Structure 1
């Protein structure tokens, strides 16, 4: 019998039955557990080493080829982007970045196997009325990180630690479509014994060629591990609300629908990114072609504490779409569209203007427009140096608050 003729039983999937019944049962079980469980003890983080000093890195946003279609790893297509800035400065302390040392496998064990053994117990399946994805425990009190496009508009979800795990009711504390991150909370008492939360690494220390291991639930298959490398840095992808997520990590570790919200891990089992999207050939197939994207851990470290508190995250907004300058104008970003009535429109920016500097910061590519306002807040005024018809001039724009979706 040839290898292609070997009979194979159907793989066991994480979820069976109707979502509503599963959800109601999880909520009832959670309430029952809460009634009979004494108040939990505080669990200390067992002395993680201090993060390594950061080395400055130039921001390098790189556009993906237009022949490749970006697809959220839960399967939905995303739209074209518009540049945006970062968060305001009034935010809680970020989650710590823990220095990572390569895990030493035992004899006969692969490095990927050792990473999987250490990290996979903290990886969960997240189910909603519309589908399922992946998440992972980041705090011993029951805080779970996943993708915003996994939870969608849901206020609560059902969580499982593995195929044989109980269905656990989870409350969505916050969701940020602009970074495709969401936070889910479960009762501490529902965490299986021995499961330890995953820790974040400093994604600014990640280098192309570094080992990368993805753990998730592709097509509902429990905690599947795939191995690869970091194959690119500084990528840009489209967020669920149509804006741009920058500094994204590219990996060739196979990622498929259902991996959304799972961890991308380094050689020490630390989280360097949250798996979010894959590139497809655009021919209707949504499987892996060796190009996956993860929201960097440093973005998650900043955003997650705010989502945990249920905070809204106002961001500065200029209201322009730009593209790379032409061959005759190698530096700058060409304005392709101006949102009517937006900050750029009120400042007098026009289609065809070439943005050269923002508050004195050089603009060499479209991503530099976002970088130029990333440390600003709505209401701040910025000076924009442009070239129009061969003349250089400066306009001043008062930044607005980014809308819920791209106009």
Structure 2
């Protein structure tokens, strides 16, 4: 009898335990379901934002084709020599398309076709290019042109989410999504472009042939870069694309439009070529070691900003300075007549200065 009672109690307790486990499981699943729904709502709101950004920027992006002449000297109607993208900006009440020099490919005006997002074709009025940066500016005129918003590319940081928009393989208005993988990329072998001045954003947003000249856009719907190249063994996207910071591209464009050529910026410092990471650590500098000043040009912007011999320039225009060669690239791509923030390391302290760069031609000879 005692054994029967014991077995009955064990069976009842077991059933209760199973019921409790089932109730706990059901409760956990209900809670998990609520969490999933809440998180899905957040993700959907983010997705809706991304869609709104894309819809907002696409009217400012154009598809560009250049055609070559056949042996008779006439352009073939179906032979596209180069295809890419561009982005519309406004300057002094005029409109222009910013793109890459290699997209235009030295084509004459009559062989350049520019298509708006709404399908209209617009004619170029003039084309100006800069070989060293691979920037081209095409002046255009048409009704209902919508210029892009410009972001502050000097404040771009690794990890920011971005869109790349372009015409890969001739497929206009293609949008891809990724992050900023690195800033300040240079010394890159980028095929036929052969760019002398390099200070790129790196992104994993898919960039393929035809994306050149299209914008790199942040989550605010602002252009922060001009897509210009890919690093690839296959000729397609391998997850590494590069963009010119928009402040540099627009500075080049502005000078081309106003003067027909580019005046490179001048800072006015000589650098210590022997300054390296070991030398930096000896003075208490343990991050990107910077560029050490060994001399200053009299009357230069550096002198006006009270830069001193022995200072180590650690940041320039919002970018970490690794060495003297990178500083040269950064300065050469900076705009003129604009206050530039410079961080220096002096006597164990970081100090911020402001400098207004001059044209290099003023100090030649």
With the shorter chain as reference, the TM-score category is 0.5 to 0.7
Note the C-alpha offset of 1:136.
1.4
Give the distance between the partners of 1:196 and 1:105, measured in 2 at CA.
30
Superposition deviation, residue 358 in structure 1: 4.8
Secondary structure (helix, strand or coil) at the match of 1:138 reads strand
Instruction: Please give the alpha-carbon distance, in whole angstroms, between the structure 2 residues aligned to 1:372 and 1:272.
Output: 18
TM-score between the two structures when normalised by the length of structure 2: 0.58
Within a 5 Å distance, the mapping from 1:2-401 to structure 2 comes to: 109-129=47-67, 130-139=81-90, 141-156=94-109, 157-162=112-117, 165-189=119-143, 191=144, 196-236=146-186, 240=193, 242-246=195-199, 248-280=200-232, 283=233, 285-309=234-258, 311-315=260-264, 357-359=294-296, 360=309, 362=312, 365=323, 366-370=325-329, 375=357, 377-378=359-360, 399=364
Q: Distance in 2 between matches of 1:205 and 1:108?
A: 22
Aligned-residue CA RMSD (Å): 3.6
Describe the shift of the 1:173–1:237 C-alpha distance in structure 2 as closer, same or farther (beyond 3 A).
farther
8 Å contact kept, 1:178–1:244: yes
- Separation in 1, partners of 2:361, 2:235: 41
Secondary structure of 1:131 counterpart: strand
- Whose helix proportion is higher, 1 or 2? 2
Which structure has the larger Rg?
2
Give unpaired runs (5+ residues) of structure 1: 1-103, 332-353, 382-398, 401-407
Q: Is the 8 A contact 2:133 2:195 kept in 1?
A: no
User: How does the TM-score come out when normalised to structure 1?
Assistant: 0.53
Compute the displacement of 1:177 (Å). Answer: 2.0
Q: Structure 1 CA distance, aligned partners of 2:361 and 2:254?
A: 24
Specify whether residues 312 and 267 from structure 1 end up closer, same or farther in structure 2 by C-alpha distance, changes over 3 A only: same
User: 1:54 matched to which residue of 2?
Assistant: none
Q: Higher RCO, 1 or 2 (CA under 8 Å, sep at least 6)?
A: 1
Distance 2:207 2:243 in 1: 10
What SS does the aligned partner of 2:238 have? Answer: coil
**3-state SS, counterpart of residue 128 of structure 1:** strand
Per-residue CA deviations over 1:239-289 (Å, capped at 9, x if unaligned) read: 84541222x211111111000010111101110111111111xx4x11111
Deviation (angstroms), 1:150:
1.0
Alpha-carbon offset, residue 187 of structure 1: 1.8
Could you tell me how far apart the structure 2 residues matched to 1:372 and 1:165 are? Answer: 39
Question: Residues 241, 269 of structure 1: CA spacing in aligned structure 2 closer, same or farther, 3 A cutoff?
Answer: same
Give 5+ residue unaligned stretches, structure 2: 1-41, 68-80, 282-290, 297-308, 314-321, 335-356
